Amino acid sequence: MNIAELLAAFPTRRILVVGDLMLDHYILGDVHRISPEAPVPVVQATGQTRVAGGAANVAHNLAAVGVRTEVFGLLGQDEAARFLTEILEQNGVAAARCPRRAGTPTIVKTRVVARRQQLCRIDHEGPRSLYDPLSDEAGAAALAAAVAEADAVIVSDYAKGVVTQALLDRVRELAKASGALVAVDPKPSRRLDLRGFGLLTPNKGEALQLAGLAEPAAGEEYPLADICARIHAEFAPAVLVVTLGADGMAISRGGRVEQVLPTEAREVFDVSGAGDTVIAFLAAALACGALPVAAARIANLAAGVVVSKMGTATVSPAELMKLS
């Protein structure tokens, strides 16, 4: 399938994004002096903006190209949750089935940016134990209902507490019954059982961890073929895509590297959210019946667009068509 065919097919699919939902808050300003109180810049704030972050950014990427999208993750009953649900709903992402819990702060990442340079980040979040959405029967029932309606499920793990082994096991069970594709963006340090999913999308470092290999010494070649063989032997994903940063992305099936696509990025301004874009487009394309290499091509193009923008961002169909 080519780019135009995939863009036409995306609105026919429904995808559920499960994971750590966050609000990305940007304080924008300028710096003209150093504080007399400490050797730090004084930022004269000129504005602020809020966008979807974490798993919510994956969903935003899907909705931006017409995919019928829903999110499932735990939210608080606070102002940040109100901001985030408004952003999602305004962009066509359903969030009504997300459990909401008083006393659990919605995760917020506040970035202070001056002249397009991030000066610091301030995180507001609670302990991981607060974010388990399956800790009551209502959450478990909501997840089951959402998976049953989905053509694909993306598990976006930012290690904040939503994605547990119990949740992965439940998603695997529900998706097997419904026939939905399950794609996982893993955090290998958490040592969760990732066996038998339809798609895994680790970056270079995460792939090394999944394969049980150490970082190559200076001057040594990245052992891509060995990594893919080891990950397949351990976890048997139907499709493995390793994002390689400036070196593009590798597509593997059956433990063998099928193709390495060079990066499509022309100008890299901000890589935050690029992994969200990759898994969103890969899962959407595979759910539409695209072969893995074709799915990777559109994901690679989309990632090349978003890294040229500030912060977590999305790509439009028009932007993709210009590059096709």
The sign of the dihedral angle between the CA atoms of 131, 208, 233, 246 is positive
Is 136 annotated in the active site? no
Q: Which residue of the set 20, 24, 157, 276 is catalytic? A: 276
Is-contact 54 158, C-beta < 8 A?
yes
Residues whose CB is less than 8 angstroms from the CB of residue 113 and which lie 6 or more positions away in sequence, other chains included:
26, 27, 28, 29, 119, 310
CA proximity to 95, closest of 75, 65, 77, 109: 75
Beta strand ranges found along the chain (DSSP E) = 14-19, 21-34, 41-54, 68-72, 75-76, 93-94, 100-101, 107-114, 117-124, 152-156, 181-185, 199-200, 239-243, 249-253, 256-261
**Rounded to the nearest 5°, which phi and psi values hold at 220?**
-80, 145
The Cα 240–Cα 232 span in angstroms is 8
Catalytic residues: 276
